Amino acid sequence: MSHITIYHNPACGTSRNVLALIRNSGEEPAVIEYLKTPPDRATLERLIAAMNMPVRDVLRQKGTPYDELDLADAKWTDAQLVDFMLQHPILINRPIVVTPLGTRLCRPSEAVLDILPQPQQAAFAKEDGEAVVDAKGQRVDKF
Question: Would you list the domain boundaries of the chain?
Answer: 5-133
Specify the pTM. Answer: 0.94
Please confirm, yes or no, whether 12 is among the known catalytic residues.
yes
- What's the confidence (pLDDT) of residue 141? 77
**Which range, of 7-21, 70-84, 93-107, 125-139, averages the lowest pLDDT?**
125-139
Q: Give the pLDDT of residue 91.
A: 98
Query: Residue-wise over 17-38: b if at least 16 C-beta within 10 A, else e?
Result: bbbbbbebbebebebbebbeeb
Active-site position among 12, 21, 82, 112: 12
Find out if CATH 3.40.30.10 is the number for domain 5-133.
yes
pLDDT-derived band at 142, boundaries 50, 70, 90: low
Q: Tell which residue, 88, 87, 99, 117, has the closest CA to residue 47.
A: 99
